[in-house]
Chains A and B, each alone.
Chain A
């Protein structure tokens, strides 16, 4: 059983919070999301390795997430070994999290597409610098958790401690050892004991 399989079988450790403060997420809220999702549809995927969306796709794949790239411009091609879809509706099978790598305005219609999925995703995550409060409210009304203006790679790095290797202020203090996540020494897990 891989590290991530273990994680996704844990019960969701946080309660549903209806009035989320979207400028200040509790660490446990983000950690709960990153622990509970497995399949991530990344809308706005790029085939250019210099683009943040490519980097995030690669990082999340390396950490055991099943990332499904979505971009109508490169639909049908392969990106980091994964088939690219033209829209959320075309993705076969359930999606746990929709990650929106487009601008704030585009996040509105993409959220609408996500809300038309059956089953609904558990999480809609808008990338760093992307914020659409109207779309967020619509999604939250259906019980979907929303994260805005955050990068899942940065958040994973922050909560695991990996980002501290780059001198970034993780804003997390702990007297517990970080968790080595399987092979090698340069990947850490989300959950300290």
Chain B
């Protein structure tokens, strides 16, 4: 092909996936092997010393996983990526590469509940201290910056759905203070929003959701935007200091604008171990081939269902940025003009009891704790994921007693609406 940048649909199918060099297999093979034979002793030494490109052991890298990595790096417009066992592992290895004990990072308060738990509790064991800010008010990020701040973290379309974050405003604050800006792009996928174009330095994904898209594989991705210069920056010793593990190599210098992805691999994935299975990588790759088609349908279906619910007599409110009256509608037009994604929340006039009844009465929607499946999904956070919180905490988290979250799938909208109607009638 010419050097012209191919379009998104082409990249979704082809990026990273040439025919197999040894067999000519056209679909990406599942390299279900732990280890790879070295060409000779010297070659082995070169690989262990990071002096040659190649495969050693599937905890560190695997040819099926690397196709997925290049695919997502290309779709996001990044320099490199790292596939890991889950979205949580992607966050963990990202922060492990950037933070030392006693460091701080600023995170938007509106996040996936699992991320809130990870930041509030698990990270405390490492001395990584989260400072919460309000993604609806970028000035709260500015106010939270201290000399210990090593990263800023937001979701592009934020949980529990229906929140669009002003990435450029927060990126400007990160840039001003020379802090890497990390964006979790799980809910949008690169089809709807490409955060590097809005100032992100690092992107993380739960590939479990829209990238895989079929609800069959847990996985995560870290994408290096290549935009943050870590070389010579003492605040990030994993990248700027000689690494004793690699004979004194300085990773941020040796690997230039993909040094962050390499460091996350050879210092994080290698030593901490949350590797992605090649089989999961294969399924996620298959999913990505249809990502543009699916994301458009997800968004179109979600808008149709949100419009219907906003006119329903038992519904008190709908929070979906695709709706013209929504508070995030202008941000949606700016950041994701093709659509506002599949996930949104709405409130039931009947409160907690109505929420419990609704999820019990639905026949097509599946009651479970995931998003981004071909199937439509429903959850009543107050009685499930958020049940341990006080009512006040629930409301703050956007999970009040009356709130229901939907992840709209790829079915016919007439069938989804009929199912919601019958369940609401009975609720």
Contact = CB atoms under 8 A, between A and B. Distances in A.
Contact of B61 (A26, A165, A179, A192): A165
Contacts of A179: 21
Contacts, number: 134
A187 B21 CA distance: 10
Given A154-B256, A162-B54, A167 B83 contact: yes
B70 A48 contact: no
Contacts of B248: 48, 50
Contacts of B70: 164, 167-170
B61 A166 contact: yes
B14 interface: yes
A4 to B, nearest CB: 16
A167 B242 contact: no
B143 interface: no
12 contacts: A48-B248, A62-B46, A62-B52, A161-B18, A163-B53, A167-B65, A167-B66, A167-B81, A170-B70, A178-B21, A185-B36, A186-B54
Contacts of B50: 55
B21 A188 contact: yes
Contacts of B343: none
Contacts of B73: 167-169
A165 B66 contact: yes
Given A168-B79, A173-B1, A186-B39, A50 B66 contact: no
A166 B262 contact: yes
Interface string A65-108: 00000000000000000000000000000000000000000000
A187 B42 CA distance: 13
Contacts of B22: 180, 185
B242 to A, nearest CB: 7
Contacts of A169: 15, 70, 73-74, 78-81, 258
Interface in A29-49: 48-49
Nearest to A169: B73
A5 interface: no
Interface of A: 26-27, 48-50, 52, 55, 58-59, 62, 128-129, 151, 154, 157, 161-180, 183-188, 192
A170 B79 CA distance: 8
B113 interface: no
A171 B74 contact: yes
Contacts of A164: 16, 18, 66-67, 70
A167 B46 contact: no
A27 B3 contact: yes
Query: Per DSSP, are chain A's interface residues mostly helix, strand or loop, or mixed?
Result: loop
Nearest to B21: A178
Which of A128, A166, A176, A183 is the most central at the interface, judged by chain B CB atoms within 10 Å of its CB? A166
Interface of B: 1, 3, 5-6, 10-11, 14-16, 18-22, 24, 36-40, 43, 46-47, 49-55, 61, 63, 65-67, 69-70, 73-74, 78-83, 242, 246-250, 253-254, 256, 258, 261-262, 265
A58 B1 CA distance: 31
A154 to B, nearest CB: 7
Given A50-B242, A170-B16, 9 more contacts: A27-B3, A48-B248, A50-B248, A55-B49, A166-B80, A167-B83, A177-B24, A185-B36, A186-B36
A178 B53 CA distance: 15
- Which of B46, B47, B51 gathers most chain A CB within 10 Å? B51
B60 to A, nearest CB: 10
Nearest to A188: B21
B18 A176 contact: yes
A170 B18 CA distance: 11
A27 to B, nearest CB: 6
B205 to A, nearest CB: 13
A48 B51 CA distance: 12
Contact of B253 (A52, A154, A172, A178): A52
Contacts of B253: 52
A183 B39 contact: yes
B14 A173 contact: yes
A87 to B, nearest CB: 26
B80 A168 contact: yes
A183 B80 CA distance: 28
Contacts of A165: 53-55, 61, 63, 66
